[in-house]
C-alpha cells in the first residue's frame, strides 16, 4: 500500500507576531535613534513576518551603557543564589512557552517544526536550568577562589539555531555575573525578541540583558565599543577573524565558535544501520546549517559501495517541504544568500568532476530549497572537501586504514567535530585521541547537552560552551 | 687575580636540539646591567623562526603521545640538572639583571622549584581540568584537556630565568611544543637553560629558543599558519602586542595577553589551561 | 538457501556468517524508533492506516482456559470485526493453539487464515519428533499458518545449527502452510542476537519472522521490530525474496499500531504494507482500532460498549 502521510501542519495561531519590533534596551522596547528597520522573512514562503529595527552606533552605545550600569549597580552586587533564581525563572518560562517558541523559530528560520520542537526548545530551557545551578557555586568550579566576571559581554549569534545559540551565550554569561548585549542574526531575530519579553516576564533587572537587532554593521559597532569587556561570537571563520583583529590589543576577553568541515568516519565494522542514520543526521539535520555538521563522509573503502547504496536508499525517504508540517525532515534554506552560496559550491563540485546524486524531492515553488545532495568521487583536492558549505551537501571520500582516516580527517584548517563509527572500542578511543576536534561523537552524531562542553580547535575557534568548562568563557582568566 | 685566560662561551640559538648560528649570520651585543659587553648573542631571523616552528611541529605529536608520567619524569630530571648547574645561573642572572648574589640565589631557587612544580602536573592536570559529564540520555560523555600544539612565546624581558621558565614549563608539560623568544636584552640565561635541555632526555624540538628582537621575529611567528597559539607574556610594547594579536587572528590562534608580572607569585593553573583545549567525546551506552 | 547445516564445517560456517553481520547499536536503534514514533498521521492517512492495521491483525487467544466457545467467538470477530459496519475489513487470521485450529477453521472457512502455535509453544522445550507431530496435527486440523518457536536455549548456547535444522525440519512437515518463526526476542536480550536470529530463521526457510510468544516480557517493541524489518529488507536486497514480519504482544492501541506501520513504511518500504508481509499478533488491539475508526467516521469519541467483547 502506498502510505502517503496527510499534511500535519502545526498551528500557526500559537504565536502572535507584531508588525514591528523595537530594540530591547534597559528593560524596555525602544525605537532606534535613526528609525531604520528591515524585514524578516519566512524562508519557506517568502512571506514578510515583521519589521525589525536596525540598531545604529548610538543604539549600541545606549545598550552597552545600560548593560554597564546594570552590571555596576545591580548584577555584580547580587549574590549568586539570587542570580540563579532569575535564570531558573527564565528556564521555566521558556519551557512553558516552548510550543509557541518552536513555531516562531520555524517560521523565522525555516527549520522543521519537529526539530525546533524536539531538539532546539528542550535544549534552550535545559541550558538555562543547568547554568542557573552554577550561579551560586562558581567558587567551586575550579577557576578561582574568587572568580571574577568580565562585566559587559557582547554576544553575536548566528541564524542556524537562533534561540539555542542565544541560550548558549546568555545563560553562562548571566550565571557568572556578567551583563550582556546580544545581537541576533538579521534573518532570525524573532525568538531573541520573544526572549526579551521573557526577561520582562521574569522581572530580570533592567539592563542585564539587552538585545540589539541589525546586520554586520551593528555587530561591528558592538564588538568595537570601548566599554565592552568580553566578546563571544558564533558564526563564520571569516567574521571571527575580523572580530579577533578588531579587538587585538585591547583587554577584551574573546571566545569564538566558528566553522567546521567535520569528518564522519565509517569503519567496516560499524553498526551499519545506525551509521546510516548518523550520516543522515550528521549532514541533513537542520538542512546542514550546522557548524559541526558531518559534511565529509570518510568511509572505509571495503564497505563504501554498500554504505552509499544504503545511504541513497535512506535519503529517498526524507520528506522535504513545509517546515510547519510535523512530518517534514528537511526544511527551507534560511536565506537567498545562503542558497546562492550552497548552489555555488554544488556547481564547483560539478565542475571539478565529482559525481552528484540528488534525492528525488519535489521542491516547493516559493521559498529557498535544496534537495539532499551527495557527491561521490570526492578527493581532498576538491573545493567541496575543503570549504564549509553549510547546507545539505555531503562529500564522500574513502580511506583504507585507521591512520589514513586520521590524516584525512585532520587535513583541514578546521577542527570542530568528528564522528567515528565502529564496534571496536579500542580503535574508537585510539581515533578519538588523534582526531583534532573539540567534539567527537562515537557511534552517534550531532548530540548536544548543557553539561557537555562544545567548541573547536584550530580555525574552528577557542573557548567552550556548555558544562563546567563553559563557565571559563565568562570568567577572567587568572594568569600569573 | 687569576692569570688564566677565561674560555668564553659563544651563545647561539637552540633549534631542534642543536645550537645553530642564525642563518642570517648576525649577532647583537648582550650587555650586563651596567652596560658592559657580556657576549654577542645570535640575532634570530624570520627564517630561524621558520626552522624553529618546523622543529616544534615535528616534535609535537610524539611529545604529546608520550605517557604523561614519562613527560613528568623528563621534566623532573631537568630540575635535577638545573640544581647541578645553579652556580652558572646565579652568575649569569647576577650579571644580566644586576641582582645581588643573595637575590640571585633566591631567583634560582624559585626557578628550580617552579620547574619541579610544573613537572608534577604532567599526569595530574587532566584529572583536574577534565570531567565526566552527566548528559541526559544513555551516553558516556567525557572531556579531556588536550594540548593546543605548537605555541610561540615571548619570554618576559625583565625576569630572564624565572620568567622564562615560568612561561616555557606550563606550555610543554601538557604536551605542547614551544618556540620561545628569550628576553632580548638578557638572553644568556636562556641559552644556558637550552644547554641543560639539550643534554636532558627532552626530545629535540620540544623547546626551541631564539635570541634577538621580538619586533623582527614576533610578527612572523604570530602569523605563521602552523603555530597554534601565542603567549605574549613578555611583550612589553603595546604596538607589538597589537600587531602580534592581529597576526594571530589570521588563523584564529588564541593569544595570551602580555603579562610581565611578579614571577614569584603562585602561578595557579592559568598558564596550564591557557594552552590546552577541551575535547569532548560522546559514546552510547547500550547492550 | 534452505539446506541443512550439517556437521562441524556447516555449523562453523553458519556461526561465522551470523557473527559477521553488522552489530546493532542499541542507543541508535532506540533513537531511530523514537524519531519514527514522532510522525503525525492525520485525516485520510490515518483512516487508511486503521483499516490496513485491522486487516493485519492475527486475532489471538492462547490461554489454558481456551474453549471451543471462546475460539468460535474470536473467529466470528475476525470475520466481522464490527458487525454494524460492513466496510470494516476482516482481520488477517485467527491464532490459536493447535487443538483449536479445527474449530476456528469451521467458523472462518476460507475467509481468513487460521494460525496455530506449534512446536511446544511457548517454551519450545520438547523433542523434535514431538514438535513435528504438533505441527502436523495443526495442519491436519486446518491451520494454514504455523507459528513455531525457536529453541532459545540452543541459540543462546551458540548451537545455531540446531536451531537452523529444527526450523528446516518443521518447515518440511508444514505441507504448504506458511511458517512464522517466533524468535522470542525478550529472551534473546540483545539486538545483535535479534538480527542473527532473524537471518538464521530466514535462511532456514521462514515465511515470517515474529517477535514474541506474548508469554514473556518484553514482547514486541518498536526497536526490536525495527531490527527485524532491517533484516527482511536486507534479505530482500540479497535474495529478491520478501519475508514477513509479525510483532506480537504488547501492541494495544491504534496509535501504537500506526507507529508500527510508519516504521514498516520507512524501513522495509511500502511493499511490506500488506497482510501478506506484516501482521500484528494481538487481541485487545482490534477493539481500539475499531473505536478509533468509529471516532473518525462519527466525529466523536467511541466507548467500549460500542465494540464487541468476545
Q: Which residues of C touch A4 (CB under 8 A)?
A: 45
A11 lies within 8 A of chain C by CB? no
Give pLDDT, residue A35: 86
A301 touches chain C (CB under 8 A): no
Burial A13-44 (b: 16+ CB within 10 A, else e): eebebeeebbbbbbbebbebeeeebbebbbbb
Instruction: Classify residue C293: in a domain, yes or no.
Output: yes
State how many domains chain B has: 1
| Closest Cα in chain B to C192 | B287
Mutate to test the interface with C, among B135, B141, B287 (most CBs of C within 10 A): B287
Domain range for C193: 28-298
Q: How many of the other CB atoms lie within 10 Å of CB of C45?
A: 21
Backbone angles phi, psi at C135, to 5 degrees: -65, -50
Asked if C51 and C88 count as a contact pair (C-beta separation under 8 A), the reply is yes
DSSP line for B170-212: HHHHTT-EEEEEPPTT--HHHHHHHHHHHTSSPPTTSEEEE-S
Contacts B138 to C, Cβ<8 Å: 26-27, 30
Residues of B in contact with A441 (CB under 8 A): 281-282
Name the active-site residue from C246, C256, C288, C310: C246
pLDDT of B41 above 50: yes
Show which residues on chain B lie within 8 Å of chain C, measured between beta carbons: 137-139, 284-287
Judged by CB atoms closer than 8 Å, whether chains meet at A464 and B135 is answered as no
Q: Which of C28, C30, C264 should be substituted to probe chain A, the one whose Cβ sees the most A Cβ atoms within 10 Å?
A: C28
- Whether B148 and A479 lie within 8 Å, measured CB to CB: no
Helix (H, G, I), strand (E, B) or coil at A395: strand
Residue with cell 515470517: C208
Q: How many domains does the structure of chain C reveal?
A: 1
Per-residue pLDDT of chain C (310 residues; tens, 9 = 90+): 445 566 667 899 999 999 999 999 999 999 999 999 999 999 999 999 999 999 999 999 999 999 999 999 999 999 999 999 999 999 999 999 999 999 999 999 999 999 999 999 999 999 999 999 999 999 999 999 999 999 999 999 999 999 999 999 999 999 999 999 999 999 999 999 999 999 999 999 999 999 999 999 999 999 999 999 999 999 999 999 999 999 999 999 999 999 999 999 999 999 999 999 999 999 999 999 999 999 999 999 999 999 998 8
Domain that holds residue B164: 38-66+125-284
Interval A313-334: pLDDT, tens: 999 999 999 999 999 999 999 9
Which residues in chain A have their CB less than 8 angstroms from residue C262's CB?
3
Task: Give the C-alpha separation, A136 to A122, whole Å.
Answer: 23
DSSP 8-state symbol, C104: H
Q: Give the pairing of strands A230-234 and A253-257.
A: parallel
Burial environment of residue C180 by CB neighbours within 10 A (0 to 12, 13 to 18, 19 or more): buried
DSSP string across A210-270: EE----HHHHHHHHH-TT--EEEEES-HHHHHHHHHHTTTS--EEEEE-----EEEE-TTS
> What are the residue boundaries of the structural domains of chain A, listed by start?
12-258+459-474, 263-449
Instruction: Tell me whether residues B284 and C25 touch, CB distance under 8 A.
Output: yes
Instruction: Work out the pLDDT band at A2, boundaries 50, 70, 90.
Output: confident
Residue C135 is part of a domain; what is its CATH number? 3.20.20.70
pLDDT the model gives residue B261: 80
* pLDDT (0 to 100) of residue A277: 98
Q: Is C246 a catalytic residue?
A: yes
C23 lies in some domain: no
Write the pLDDT tens digit of every residue in A390-401: 999 999 999 999
Asked whether residue B251 is domain-assigned, the answer is yes
Whether A236 has its CB under 8 Å from any CB of chain B: the answer is no
Q: Quick check: is A291 catalytic?
A: yes
**In this complex, is the C-beta atom of A245 within 8 Å of any C-beta atom belonging to chain B?**
yes
Which DSSP string corresponds to C228-255? HHHHHHHHHHHHS---EEE-BSS--SHH
Contact B221, B199 (CB under 8 A): no
ipTM above 0.95, yes or no: yes
Mean pLDDT, rounded, of chain B: 96
Chain-chain contact of A258 with B252 (C-beta, under 8 angstroms): yes
- CA A141/CA A126 separation, integer angstroms: 19
Confidence of residue B260 (pLDDT cuts 50, 70, 90): confident
Q: What is the DSSP letter of A135?
A: T
pLDDT of the residue at B9: 83
CB contact under 8 A, B137 and A126: no
Average pLDDT over residues A240-251: 97
Among A421, A445, A73, which residue's Cα sits nearest to residue A272?
A421
A278 at the C interface (CB within 8 A)?
Answer: yes
Cell of B71: 613527560
Instruction: State the residue for C-alpha cell 535564570.
Output: A87
Catalytic pick from A257, A387, A388, A459?
A257
Find out whether C143 and C115 touch, Cβ atoms under 8 Å. Answer: yes
Cβ separation B281–A442 shorter than 8 A: yes
Neighbours of A230 (CB within 10 A): 25
Task: Among C28, C230, C274, select the one facing A1 at the smallest CB separation.
Answer: C274
Q: What is the 3-state secondary structure (H, E, C) of A103-117?
A: HHHHHHHCCCHHHHH
Q: Is residue B268 part of a domain?
A: yes
Q: What is the pLDDT of residues B49-95, one digit of tens each?
A: 999 999 999 999 999 999 999 999 999 999 999 999 999 999 999 99
* Contact in structure between C182 and C147 (CB atoms under 8 Å): yes
Our answer to whether residue C210 is catalytic in this structure is yes
C24 contacts A270? CB cut-off 8 A: no
φ, ψ of residue A272 in degrees (nearest 5): -65, -45
Given a cut of 70, whether residue A354 has pLDDT beyond it is yes
Q: What's the full length of chain A, in residues?
A: 480
Of A437, A454, A479, the CB nearest to B270: A479
Provide the percentage of residues in chain B whose pLDDT is more than 70: 99
* Record: contact B143-A440, CB cut-off 8 A: no
pLDDT in tens, A28-78: 999 999 889 999 999 999 999 999 999 999 999 999 999 999 999 999 999
State the pLDDT at residue C1. Answer: 44
Q: Taking CB atoms and an 8 Å cutoff, what residues of chain B touch C185? A: none
Residue B7's pLDDT band, with cuts at 50, 70 and 90, is: confident
Give residue-wise pLDDT tens across range A197-235.
Answer: 999 999 999 999 999 999 999 999 999 999 999 999 999
CATH of domain A263-449: 3.40.309.10
Is there a domain that residue B104 lies in? no
Distances (CA, A) of A64 to A230, A234, B215, C44: 12, 20, 36, 55
C contact chains, 3+ CB pairs < 8 A: A, B
Instruction: Return the CATH number of the domain spanning residue range A12-258+459-474.
Output: 3.40.605.10
In a domain, C232, yes or no: yes
CA distance C168 to C183: 15
Q: Which residue of B has its CA nearest to C188?
A: B287
- CB-CB neighbors (< 8 A) of B257 in chain A: 251
Nearest chain C residue to B140, by CA? C27
Helix, coil or strand: residue C221: coil
Tell me the chain B residues in contact with residue A442 when contact means C-beta distances shorter than 8 Å.
Answer: 281-284
Identify the CATH number of the domain in which residue B143 sits.
Answer: 3.40.605.10
Q: What is the DSSP string of A274-340?
A: HHHHHHHHHHHGGGG--TT---EEEEEGGGHHHHHHHHHHHHTT--BS-TTBTT-SB---S-HHHHH
User: For chains A and C, what is the number of CB pairs under 8 angstroms?
Assistant: 74
Q: Which distant-in-sequence residues (6+ apart) come within 8 Å of A187 by Cβ?
A: A40, A41, A43, A108, A109, A159, A334, A335
Nearest CA to A434 among B62, C126, B205, B257?
B62
Residue C10: the pLDDT is 87
Identify the closest residue of chain B to A240 by CA–CA distance: B252
pLDDT for the residue C2: 45
Q: Do C24 and A3 touch (CB under 8 A)?
A: no
Q: CB of A452 within 8 Å of any CB in chain B?
A: yes
What average pLDDT score do residues A112-122 get?
A: 98
Amino acid at each position: 500500500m502506498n502510505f502517503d502521510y496527510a499534511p500535519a501542519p502545526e498551528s500557526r495561531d500559537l504565536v502572535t507576531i507584531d508588525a514591528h519590533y523595537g530594540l530591547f534596551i534597559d528593560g524596555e522596547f525602544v525605537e532606534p535613534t535613526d528609525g531604520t528597520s528591515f524585514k524578516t522573512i519566512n524562508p519557506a514562503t517568502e512571506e514578510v513576518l515583521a519589521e525589525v529595527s536596525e540598531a545604529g552606533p548610538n543604539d549600541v552605545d545606549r545598550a552597552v551603557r545600560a548593560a554597564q550600569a546594570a552590571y555596576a549597580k545591580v548584577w555584580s552586587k547580587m549574590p549568586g543564589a539570587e542570580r540563579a533564581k532569575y535564570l531558573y525563572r527564565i528556564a521555566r518560562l521558556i519551557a512553558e512557552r516552548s510550543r509557541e517558541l518552536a513555531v516562531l523559530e520555524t517560521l523565522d528560520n525555516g527549520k522543521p517544526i519537529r526539530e525546533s520542537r524536539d531538539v532546539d526548545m528542550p535544549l534552550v530551557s535545559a541550558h538555562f536550568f543547568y547554568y542557573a545551578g552554577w550561579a551560586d557555586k562558581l567558587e567551586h568550579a575550579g577557576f578561582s577562589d574568587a572568580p571574577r566576571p568580565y562585566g559587559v559581554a557582547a554576544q553575536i549569534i548566528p541564524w542556524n539555531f537562533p534561540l539555542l545559540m542565544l541560550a548558549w551565550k546568555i545563560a553562562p554569561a548571566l550565571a557568572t555575573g556578567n551583563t550582556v548585549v546580544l545581537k541576533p542574526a538579521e534573518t532570525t531575530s524573532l525568538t531573541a525578541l520573544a526572549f526579551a519579553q521573557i526577561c520582562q516576564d521574569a522581572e530580570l533587572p533592567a539592563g542585564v540583558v539587552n538585545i540589539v537587532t541589525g546586520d554586520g554593521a551593528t555587530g561591528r559597532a558592538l564588538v568595537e565599543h570601548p566599554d565592552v569587556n568580553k566578546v563571544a561570537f558564533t558564526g563564520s571563520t571569516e567574521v571571527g577573524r575580523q572580530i579577533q583583529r578588531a579587538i587585538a590589543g585591547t583587554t577584551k576577553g574573546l571566545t569564538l565558535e566558528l566553522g567546521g568541515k567535520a569528518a564522519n568516519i565509517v569503519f567496516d565494522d560499524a553498526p551499519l544501520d545506525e551509521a546510516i542514520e548518523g550520516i543522515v543526521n550528521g549532514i541533513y539535520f537542520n538542512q546542514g546549517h550546522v557548524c559541526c555538521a558531518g559534511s565529509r563522509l570518510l568511509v572505509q573503502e571495503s564497505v563504501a559501495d554498500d554504505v552509499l547504496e544504503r545511504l541513497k536508499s535512506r535519503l529517498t525517504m526524507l520528506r522535504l517541504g513545509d517546515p510547519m508540517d510535523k512530518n517534514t525532515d528537511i526544511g527551507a534554506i534560511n536565506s537567498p544568500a545562503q542558497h546562492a552560496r550552497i548552489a555555488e559550491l554544488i556547481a564547483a563540485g560539478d565542475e571539478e568532476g565529482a559525481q552528484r546524486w540528488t534525492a528525488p524531492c519535489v521542491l516547493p515553488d516559493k521559498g529557498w530549497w535544496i534537495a539532499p545532495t551527495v557527491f561521490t568521487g570526492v578527493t581532498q583536492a576538491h573545493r567541496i572537501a575543503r570549504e564549509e558549505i553549510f547546507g545539505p551537501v555531503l562529500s564522500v571520500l574513502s580511506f583504507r586504514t585507521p591512520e589514513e582516516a586520521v590524516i584525512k580527517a585532520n587535513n583541514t584548517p578546521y577542527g570542530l567535530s568528528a564522528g567515528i563509527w565502529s564496534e571496536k572500542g579500542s580503535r574508537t578511543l585510539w581515533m578519538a585521541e588523534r582526531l583534532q576536534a573539540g567534539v567527537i561523537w562515537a557511534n552517534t552524531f550531532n548530540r548536544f547537552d548543557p553539561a557537555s562542553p562544545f567548541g573547536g580547535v584550530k580555525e574552528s575557534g577557542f573557548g567552550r560552551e556548555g558544562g563546567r568548562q563553559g563557565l571559563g568563557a565568562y570568567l577572567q582568566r587568572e594568569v600569573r | 687575580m687569576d692569570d688564566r685566560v677565561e674560555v668564553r662561551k659563544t651563545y647561539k640559538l637552540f633549534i631542534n636540539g642543536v645550537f645553530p648560528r642564525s642563518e642570517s649570520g648576525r649577532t647583537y651585543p648582550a650587555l650586563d646591567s651596567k652596560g658592559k659587553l657580556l657576549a654577542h648573542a645570535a640575532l634570530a631571523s624570520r627564517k630561524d623562526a621558520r626552522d624553529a616552528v618546523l622543529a616544534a611541529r615535528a616534535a609535537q605529536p610524539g611529545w604529546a603521545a608520550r605517557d604523561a608520567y614519562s613527560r613528568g619524569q623528563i621534566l623532573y630530571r631537568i630540575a635535577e640538572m638545573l640544581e647541578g648547574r645553579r652556580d652558572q645561573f646565579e652568575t649569569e642572572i647576577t650579571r644580566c639583571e644586576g641582582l645581588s648574589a643573595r637575590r640571585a640565589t633566591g631567583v634560582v631557587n624559585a626557578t628550580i622549584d617552579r620547574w619541579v612544580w610544573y613537572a608534577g602536573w604532567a599526569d595530574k592536570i587532566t584529572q583536574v581540568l577534565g570531567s565526566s559529564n552527566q548528559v541526559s540520555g544513555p551516553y558516556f560523555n567525557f572531556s579531556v584537556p588536550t594540548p593546543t600544539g605548537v605555541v610561540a612565546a615571548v619570554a618576559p624581558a625583565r625576569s630572564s630565568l624565572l620568567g622564562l621558565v615560568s612561561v616555557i614549563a606550563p606550555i610543554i608539560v601538557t604536551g605542547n611544543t614551544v618556540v620561545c623568544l628569550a628576553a632580548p636584552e638578557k638572553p644568556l640565561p636562556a641559552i644556558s637553560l637550552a644547554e641543560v635541555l639539550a643534554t636532558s632526555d627532552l626530545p629535540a624540538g620540544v623547546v626551541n629558543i631564539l635570541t634577538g628582537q621580538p619586533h623582527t621575529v614576533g610578527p612572523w611567528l604570530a602569523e605563521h599558519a602552523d603555530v597554534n597559539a601565542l603567549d605574549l607574556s613578555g611583550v612589553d610594547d603595546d604596538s607589538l602586542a597589537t600587531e602580534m594579536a592581529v597576526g594571530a587572528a589570521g588563523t584564529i590562534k588564541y593569544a595570551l595577553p602580555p603579562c610581565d608580572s611578579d614571577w614569584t607569585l603562585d602561578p595557579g593553573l592559568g598558564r596550564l589551561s591557557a594552552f590546552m583545549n577541551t575535547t569532548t567525546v560522546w559514546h552510547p551506552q547500550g547492550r | 538457501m534452505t539446506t541443512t547445516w550439517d556437521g562441524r564445517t556447516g555449523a562453523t560456517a553458519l556461526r561465522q556468517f551470523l557473527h559477521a553481520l553488522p552489530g546493532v547499536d542499541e542507543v541508535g536503534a532506540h533513537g531511530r524508533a523514537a524519531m519514527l514514533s514522532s510522525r503525525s498521521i492525520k485525516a485520510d492517512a490515518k483512516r487508511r492506516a486503521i483499516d490496513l492495521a485491522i486487516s493485519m491483525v492475527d486475532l489471538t487467544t492462547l490461554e489454558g482456559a481456551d474453549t471451543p466457545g471462546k475460539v468460535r467467538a474470536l473467529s466470528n470477530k475476525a470475520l466481522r470485526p464490527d458487525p454494524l459496519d460492513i466496510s470494516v475489513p476482516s482481520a488477517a487470521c485467527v491464532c490459536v493453539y493447535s487443538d483449536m485450529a479445527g474449530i476456528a477453521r469451521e467458523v472462518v472457512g476460507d475467509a481468513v487464515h487460521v494460525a496455530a502455535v506449534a512446536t511446544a509453544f511457548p517454551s519450545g522445550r520438547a523433542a523434535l519428533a514431538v514438535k513435528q507431530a504438533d505441527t502436523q496435527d495443526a495442519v491436519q486440523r486446518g491451520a494454514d499458518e504455523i507459528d513455531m518457536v525457536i529453541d532459545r536455549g540452543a541459540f543462546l548456547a551458540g548451537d545455531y545449527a540446531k536451531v537452523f535444522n529444527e526450523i528446516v525440519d518443521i518447515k518440511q512437515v508444514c505441507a504448504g502452510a506458511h511458517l512464522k518463526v517466533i524468535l522470542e526476542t525478550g529472551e534473546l536480550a540483545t539486538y545483535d542476537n535479534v538480527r542473527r536470529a532473524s537471518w538464521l530463521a530466514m535462511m532456514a526457510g521462514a515465511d515470517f519472522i515474529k517477535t514474541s510468544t506474548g508469554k514473556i516480557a518484553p514482547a514486541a517493541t518498536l526497536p526490536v521490530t525495527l531490527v527485524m524489518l532491517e533484516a527482511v529488507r536486507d534479505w530482500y536486497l540479497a535474495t529478491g525474496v520478501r519475508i514477513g514480519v509479525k510483532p506480537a504482544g504488547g501492541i494495544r492501541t491504534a496509535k501504537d499500531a500506526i507507529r508500527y506501520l510508519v516504521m514498516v513504511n520507512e524501513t522495509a518500504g511500502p511493499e511490506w504494507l500488506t497482510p501478506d508481509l506484516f501482521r500484528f499478533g494481538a487481541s485487545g488491539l482490534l477493539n481500539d482500532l475499531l473505536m478509533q475508526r468509529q471516532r473518525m467516521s462519527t466525529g466523536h469519541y467511541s466507548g467500549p460498549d460500542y465494540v464487541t467483547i468476545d
